[in-house]
Amino acid sequence: MKILVTGAAGFIGMHTSERLLARGDEVIGLDNLNNYYDPALKESRLARLRPLPGFRFVKMDVADRAGMERLFAEERFDRVVHLAAQAGVRYSLQNPHAYADSNLTGFVNILEGCRHGQAAHLVYASSSSVYGGNAKMPFSEHDSVDHPVSLYAATKKANELMAHTYSHLYGLPTTGLRFFTVYGPWGRPDMALFLFVKAILEGRPIDVFNHGKMKRDFTYIDDIVEGVIRVLDRPAEPDAAFDPMRPDPGRSRAPYRVLNIGNHAPVELMAFIEAIEEALGLQAQKNFLPIQPGDVPETYAEVSELVRWTDFKPATSVREGVKNFVAWYRAYYGDGGGKTCVS
């Protein structure tokens, strides 16, 4: 198939593109290479993709309406994996307009491209952040998600609503994937694992929010990619059993789905830090701080719908995943902060 992967120079985008190319798909990778974090890391990810047969790169912002219209008209994609977005909960407090441009305007451009280009399936990144103020655990797709606690979460909830509209009006199969704290080699520098490893190796204290009383359903990148690929290969279908008198948020008469992808095993932040210390062979200096605005104390994915739909359940342990990340980090950066290689 010919597949558009947006955010191809990103963490999940690079790994997903590699898997699609390895099985023989043609991948057009799109990214704007912005400076939300170090563009050199994005270029290094792209350097892994460029030599692979079947890959082409397009530098473009998804918010570029005319450019996106042209791209979809010229390429006629079979399927689309939309991973480009302005990420980060805390950054949304400082730069809200970046989220409106990328996550709202950009998403409309993707939907319109898929509609007019007659793509057979749109798979897009949502987030566990949509669960917001929910306290019922584990988080289920069948629960209401009407109480976001960050603008980032609100834009991801909006994406799900927008996708449903296009599935209903135009019959476009759409599947939103609620990712739960993705980590692993080539990960984002603004994520806790990257920040912790960098600080510990440089002998600096790490900031431990909510005084360490946080739990996250850390999900390893290989498990995320496996879920993305399996979902991509099974387009959303209408649910004949949908009852409009008792509407289920996880169901629809339209070809629309939302699915959690998480490890279904929340880990305490202090246990996560212990896994990092073990992998590094170093102790962390800890700076305990209050919870940050927009953060939630716990995430925990119910994944029975994912298992039912794809026959796949993430299962990589945090110790294994952290060990793999540390090995990559040391190969890429060494034990300091300077880049040494791109392997």
The residues carrying an active-site annotation are: 152
Question: What is the distance, to the nearest Å, from the Cα of residue 318 to the centroid of all Cα atoms in its chain?
Answer: 18
Distance CA 202, CA 334 (A): 11
Please choose, from the candidates 213, 100, 113, 217, the residue with its C-alpha nearest in 3D space to the C-alpha of residue 170.
Answer: 113
For residue 227 the two structure tokens come to 């879920």
Omega before 255 within 30 of 0, i.e. cis: no
DSSP type of residue 205: P
Terminal C-alpha separation, the chain: 28
Please choose, from the candidates 214, 228, 219, the residue with its C-alpha nearest in 3D space to the C-alpha of residue 265.
Answer: 219
Dihedral angle at the C-alpha atoms of 312, 315, 321, 324, nearest 10 degrees?
A: -60
Instruction: Collapse the DSSP code of 226 into the 3-class scheme (helix H, G, I; strand E, B; otherwise coil) and give the result.
Output: helix
| Residue 282 exposure: Cα atoms within 13 Å on the Cβ side | 17
Q: What is the 3-state secondary structure (H, E, C) of 102-144?
A: HHHHHHHHHHHHHHHHCCCEEEEEEEHHHHCCCCCCCECCCCC
8 near 59, Cβ under 8 Å? no
The runs of H, that is alpha helices, within the chain are: 11-22, 39-49, 65-75, 91-94, 96-99, 106-117, 151-170, 192-201, 221-232, 269-280, 304-310, 318-333
For residue 342 the two structure tokens come to 């791109």
Residue with tokens 């995430």: 299
